[in-house]
Amino acid sequence: MPSPLADSVKLPCGLVFPNRLSKAAMAELMAKTNQPNDSLNDAYEQWSQGGWGSILTGNVQVDVDHLGSPFDPALHGEYTGDDKTVVKEWKKYADACQKHGTPALVQICHPGRQSFRPAGRRGFFAQTIAPSEVPMNIGNGLLEQLIACVAWSQPREMTRGDIEKAIRCFVDTARLMADAGFSGVELHGAHGYLIDQFLNSKTNLRTDEYGGTPTKRARFVLDILREIRKVVPPTFAIGIKLNSADHSSSTFEETMTQIALLVDAGIDFMEVSGGSYEDPQMMGYAKSETPKSERTAAREAFFLEFAKEVRQRHPGLVLMLTGGFRSRAGAEAAIRDGACDLVGIGRPAAIDPKFPLLLLDESLDDEKAALPLEKVPTPFYARWLPRNLIGAGAESTYYAGQISRMSRGLATLAPAL
């Protein structure tokens, strides 16, 4: 019996993914000049041969002054559609991603208050920007407070001009990606980045038209979505990645209200993930270990229950679930349970760029159609640092290293304890 993972999926804009397996976004840490380069292109050419239904790039920052890491690709200035040199460089990236016909979408992002001091061209001591002046908090201990002070500057509340500029940056970046030949973009509204900061009542304390209610907190991303639609082709996909794990039961319905607004605005797909630098659940780490239900523990996906609730309320929404998938059996279970339409796979893709070919090989039994991975060991010199932050950092850095090896044609190595 053919695997449901082999089914094609058509987005509302008309773009078709040939199967349900998506190479999820991961940090590559390879853009030393904050521009696409041959190393990045070589890595994505490897994935383009891997049998994926879709490829999501790592973060492309919409403003070079505000980066998530010092090595993110970014928009370097205003783009109005007439800079052929810029388009040419990004087209090489798009062509590498899609060389073998797989649609590729660019994850576009603004880190807001999560921009590290050395990341971006605003200056080491310059303030970050955020919906409200809520500083980063990785813990209440003296050590955690010291680390946060060293890593991040105090954010300042964005003015109306700041908000309008950030929206233009998202729009310009999406327009450039469309002109370069990518198949779509994904707005990064998760992991504590700027869009998530606006959506979340913990970080958005505003009382103007961009805060105060769930609907007003969603205005920032809805404005971005509306303005992007004006400058890209109708077949260009616009998706969004949203958090699930950082919303408590008391704010659950607020989150559902915001999702309904995005559905009504015509989002093409939604990816469910979770966590932030403060609480990195997307990497399998958290400040506190909240017990999972037996049903969730029996599944690989980190954020399965939230996705199933979204599916129940919005059965027509194309839903991607990312985080924790390691096997054909686990991915198929999520599809057959109705939790999602697309399965996002991150870390296994950095070890085996052709992982879909393994999962879709009908000659292999379920036991062999899998790639279990150990946690990345924390370096001995860092073990006195906060576990949730350092553990997640070790994971991200390790897999970025494997992506670099892959781009150079070297064998990748799964972590071993």
- Mean residue pLDDT across the chain: 89
Q: What's the domain count of the chain?
A: 1
Q: State the pLDDT at residue 176.
A: 98
* Domain-embedded: residue 396: no
- Give the rounded percent of residues in the chain with a pLDDT score beyond 70: 88
Question: Which of 152-156, 207-211, 380-384 shows the lowest mean pLDDT across its residues?
Answer: 380-384
Q: State the pLDDT at residue 278.
A: 41
* Domain-embedded: residue 298: yes
* Domain-embedded: residue 409: no
Q: State the pLDDT at residue 381.
A: 58
Q: What is the mean pLDDT of residues 207-227?
A: 98
Q: State the pLDDT at residue 324.
A: 87
pLDDT tens per residue across span 269-307 = 999 975 434 444 444 444 444 444 444 433 456 677 888
* Domain-embedded: residue 182: yes
Cα 47 from Cα 357, distance rounded (Å): 11
Question: Which of 189-203, 213-227, 369-383 shows the lowest mean pLDDT across its residues?
Answer: 369-383
Question: Which of 241-245, 265-269, 274-278 shows the lowest mean pLDDT across its residues?
Answer: 274-278
Range of the domain at 20: 4-132+152-276+292-375
Q: Give, to the nearest 10 degrees, the angle between helix 38-48 and helix 387-407.
A: 80
Q: State the pLDDT at residue 236.
A: 98
* Domain-embedded: residue 178: yes
Question: Which of 51-60, 157-166, 335-344 shows the lowest mean pLDDT across its residues?
Answer: 335-344
Q: State the pLDDT at residue 292.
A: 42
The angle at the Cα of 196, spanning 194 to 200, to the nearest 5 degrees, equals 120
Q: State the pLDDT at residue 39.
A: 97
Q: State the pLDDT at residue 64.
A: 97
- Give the rounded percent of residues in the chain with a pLDDT score beyond 90: 74
pLDDT tens per residue across span 105-126 = 999 999 999 999 999 999 999 9
* Domain-embedded: residue 232: yes
Q: State the pLDDT at residue 390.
A: 57
Report residue 245's pLDDT band, with 50, 70 and 90 as the boundaries.
low
* Domain-embedded: residue 417: no
Evaluate if residue 144 carries a pLDDT over 60: yes
Q: What is the pTM of this model?
A: 0.91
Best-predicted range by mean pLDDT among 43-47, 140-144, 362-366? 43-47
* Domain-embedded: residue 405: no
Better-scored residue on pLDDT, 217 or 285: 217
Cα 60 from Cα 63, distance rounded (Å): 9
Q: What is the mean pLDDT of residues 128-141?
A: 92
CATH number (domain holding residue 339): 3.20.20.70
Evaluate if residue 204 carries a pLDDT over 90: yes
Cα 315 from Cα 321, distance rounded (Å): 15
Q: State the pLDDT at residue 244.
A: 78
